[in-house]
Chains A and B, each alone.
Chain A
Amino acid sequence: MVSSPKREAVPANLDRLIHERIRLGIVSALAVNRSLTFNELKALLKTTDGNLSVHARKLEEADYIVCTKSFDGRLPKTEYRLAAGGRRALERYLNHMEALIRATREG
């Protein structure tokens, strides 16, 4: 009876922004790399240009990741790195998922 309100409360304050496969993938991949280029992320997450750029922009708008654009010779190069906010969000999300599992197993 203690676990049921906890179970109700958990999905309500779930971070919607990274509770999405591509966005969660971007944040996870950047958590273990100083920076990754657009193409590295695209290959890693097996997604399309459009999909990745839309989701990356959402994360950028939330200050979860930082995007830097430069030129590698004449080719434009987009690099992403994880911002402090993004790292905190991922930690919160991980704790959240662990709490969910614990709550259901104990309940």
Chain B
Amino acid sequence: MSCTLRNKVLDNASPHRYSWDVPTTSPIRTPSREPIPIDARAADHLRYIRETMERAAEFTAVPGWGGVAMGLTALAAALWASRQGTPQGWATVWLAEAFVAVAIAAPSAATKARRANSSLFSGPGRKFVLSFAPPIVVGGLLTAALFQLGDLSALPGVWLLLYGTAIVTGGAFSVRAVPIMGLCLMGLGAAALFAPAHWGNLFMAAGFGVVQIGFGLWIALRHGG
């Protein structure tokens, strides 16, 4: 198969390409001589290398095993939160879980970045953070506002929706698994908003636990770690 391809592409195509139909005594392309504005060409090559590396690095931008670990701690948090007597206690457990998740996500993303040669990682990494941050900030503000109002029943929907939005926007240019995971979280969040309030914790467990573990495994196995 590859031999046939080679014969087709290399051995046959190039030698006959110009000599059959175009009457010329010298080769049209002289490979040893470069045109004069060579620095423009060189800059173009460098840009191409950089862009290819940035696009390629997105294959590994989101840490899969980190996602699995975050999912597992979320399941533990769901169990613990369900045993709290008050809505405030429930929300506190989940807020603590958010810090645990950040503590897992940051080093695992950094490790992955380092493995993918961190100096070249500035492009996709920065893009991800810039588009990931705004929905998270909004989520924080809404959480504070809902705390003030004293109505915490909408929190599961708000958290799932905005975390899902952050994943969708942050992962828009990443491998397909990432935005699909975000959409799943958004779907769960939308359902949680309109479902009975006492189902909230189940939605949280499903979204932050099950969905993250599932997609974490997918990313880890298909996209290197």
Contact = CB atoms under 8 A, between A and B. Distances in A.
Interface of A: 7, 10-12, 16, 19, 21, 24-25, 28-36, 40, 44-45, 49-51, 53-54, 57, 90, 93-94, 96-98, 100-101, 103-105
Given A50-B9, A94-B49, A97-B45, A32 B120 contact: yes
A35 B60 CA distance: 10
A24 B45 contact: yes
A99 B2 CA distance: 37
A54 B10 contact: yes
Contacts of B53: 28-29, 31-32
Contacts of A94: 46, 49
28 contacts: A10-B38, A11-B38, A21-B48, A24-B48, A28-B52, A28-B56, A29-B53, A29-B55, A32-B53, A32-B56, A32-B117, A32-B121, A34-B60, A34-B115, A34-B224, A36-B59, A50-B5, A50-B8, A50-B9, A54-B5, A94-B46, A96-B42, A97-B42, A97-B45, A98-B42, A100-B42, A101-B39, A104-B38
Given A34-B224, A35-B224, A28 B49 contact: yes
B135 to A, nearest CB: 27
Per DSSP, chain B at the interface is: helix
Interface of B: 2, 5-6, 8-10, 31-34, 38-39, 42-43, 45-46, 48-49, 52-53, 55-57, 59-60, 115-117, 120-121, 224
Which 10 pairs show the lowest CB-CB distances between chains A and B?
A104-B39, A29-B56, A100-B42, A28-B52, A97-B42, A50-B5, A32-B57, A28-B49, A101-B39, A32-B116
B48 A33 contact: no
Which of A31, A45, A57, A94 is packed against the most chain B CB atoms within 10 Å?
A31
Contacts, number: 91
A34 to B, nearest CB: 6
A29 B38 CA distance: 24
A25 to B, nearest CB: 5
Given A40-B59, A94-B49, 12 more contacts: A11-B33, A24-B49, A28-B49, A29-B53, A29-B56, A33-B59, A34-B224, A44-B56, A50-B9, A54-B6, A57-B2, A101-B39
Contacts of B116: 32-33
A25 B53 CA distance: 8
Nearest to A90: B49
B36 to A, nearest CB: 9
A94 B32 CA distance: 19
Given A33-B224, A35-B224, A101 B56 contact: no
A86 to B, nearest CB: 13
Contacts of B46: 94, 97-98, 101
Contact of A101 (B10, B31, B32, B43): B43
B15 to A, nearest CB: 15
Contacts of A101: 39, 42-43, 46
Nearest to B4: A50
A12 B31 CA distance: 10
B46 to A, nearest CB: 5
